[in-house]
Amino acid sequence: MTPTTPAFPTRIAHFDLDSFFVAVERARNPELRGKPVLVGFAGPRGVVSTASYEARVFGCRSAQPMAVALRLCPHAIVVEPDHEAYVAVSRQFHELLRGVTPVVEPAGIDEAYADLTGLGLEADAPRAAAERLRARVREELGITVSVCIAGSKTTAKVGSDRAKPDGLIEVPPGGDAAFLAPLPIRDLPFVGPKFGDALAQAGVRTIGQAAALDPKWLASHFGAAGESLTERARGIDHAPVRGDGREQKQISRETTFMEDLTDLVEIRRVLHRLTERVGSDLRSHGRRARTVTLKLRWTDFTTLSRSRTLERPAQATPPILEAARALLDEAIRTEGLRPVRLIGVGVTNLVEDAMQLGLADLAGADGTPSVLRDERLDHVIDDLRSRFGDRSVTRGT
């Protein structure tokens, strides 16, 4: 008799680092533990990036104006964000997770999906693997991670929010619908404020109530969003965990100034810095870009966006910066130099990291085409920054 391969139930986990930016700051400065902490910039335009659980008790939350948060919690400690440190810890977290299972799909700097199906013959193997990962994150990174293991990405995402802070929820195989049923409809991914309000007006306030509705009725009232709602409300989500990650469609960096900027030299300096970060992101993703886009927002919140297609896909900083500067010059020439509230640079139409050299690529004194020399220099700069900090070295202006 031929032995059969055991059919393992689908076990998908969503790992979510708890109050991530605050957690990293506390790992670096233990004196912040147990105190209300707000990560973000102070000042009239400052916004809260992350609020500690102690601050949330007072009504503070992410994306809230810092001035409002400090009125709610005057004794909160404000810490300026250190994106470089957060990215470094995020990379360590994702590496630890890939040590548990190779099928990992990053979903952001502080979260990821993982397929734990068939990690062992024992029924509790997925949970044991998740607990080992949680212990390593706590011991090696000094932060905590919450997780939900379920039969679909939708349920796992909802459950990890319920597991916070520093918890683990396991929904038994076949139990996704029952787990979701009593929860508020707004807990379901892709149910935003408008959709949620419309459902509430129709008497749908829980996920279970949505699951019980006729899909045709939902489709007729809410279109495509309603059509897919009943399946997701039952925890039915056929989307797999993509171990190779989602295809990157664009890379961008932008910054909002505390005070509107009118100094063209300073505007160019900021544009240079943002472009360097975009180039570094491109290289770390192993991609090249065909199109460069400049974004400007004036003091009256009018937003201008202009794009330029490169002669060939690039990942080195110089050609991207050259295009961004040209777009800035064009905007100032046509619109005038107005007070700038926000500036950003992005790249789109991304392609694989491959390049064909042409006859026009004249070699330098060392026999290396100038375009390759730029890229090699950028990789050296990237390496130095990863070792010694983002401000350790920069290209001259």
- Choice between 229 and 363, residue whose per-residue pLDDT is larger: 229
Residue 286: the pLDDT is 74
Sign for the pseudo-dihedral over CA of 125, 130, 134, 140: positive
DSSP state of 141: I
Domains in the chain and their CATH numbers? 1-172 (3.30.70.270), 177-233 (1.10.150.20), 250-388 (3.30.1490.100)
Candidate from 149-163, 194-208, 276-290, 346-360 with smallest mean pLDDT: 346-360
Instruction: Say yes or no to pLDDT of 1 above 50.
Output: no
CA distance 242 to 239: 9
At 361, which amino acid appears?
A: D
Going by pLDDT thresholds of 50, 70 and 90, the confidence category of residue 395 is: low
**pLDDT, mean of residues 132-142:** 94
**Beta bridge mates, 288:** 351
Candidate from 33-47, 109-123, 311-325 with smallest mean pLDDT: 109-123
Going by pLDDT thresholds of 50, 70 and 90, the confidence category of residue 357 is: very low
Q: pTM for the complete prediction?
A: 0.64
Residue 250: the pLDDT is 78
Residue 293: the pLDDT is 93
Residue 363: the pLDDT is 47
pLDDT digits (tens, 9 = 90+) for 164-210: 999 999 999 999 999 999 999 999 887 878 888 888 888 889 999 99
Going by pLDDT thresholds of 50, 70 and 90, the confidence category of residue 287 is: confident
Helix (H, G, I), strand (E, B) or coil at 251: strand
Mean pLDDT of the chain: 84
| Long-range contacts (CB closer than 8 Å, 24 or more residues apart) made by 387-390 | 389/84, 390/84
pLDDT digits (tens, 9 = 90+) for 158-175: 999 999 999 999 999 999
Residue 160: the pLDDT is 95
**pLDDT, mean of residues 65-81:** 94
Using CB atoms within 10 Å of the CB of residue 154, give its burial: 0 to 12 exposed, 13 to 18 middle, 19+ buried.
buried
- Choice between 382 and 364, residue whose per-residue pLDDT is larger: 382
Residue 329: the pLDDT is 94
pLDDT digits (tens, 9 = 90+) for 46-69: 889 899 999 999 999 988 899 999
Residue 359: the pLDDT is 40
Residue 366: the pLDDT is 47
- Choice between 395 and 157, residue whose per-residue pLDDT is larger: 157
State both tokens at 174.
Answer: 């076949």
Among candidate residues 105, 111, 170, 375, the one labeled active-site is: 111
CA distance 56 to 65: 14
Question: Is 105 known to be catalytic?
Answer: no
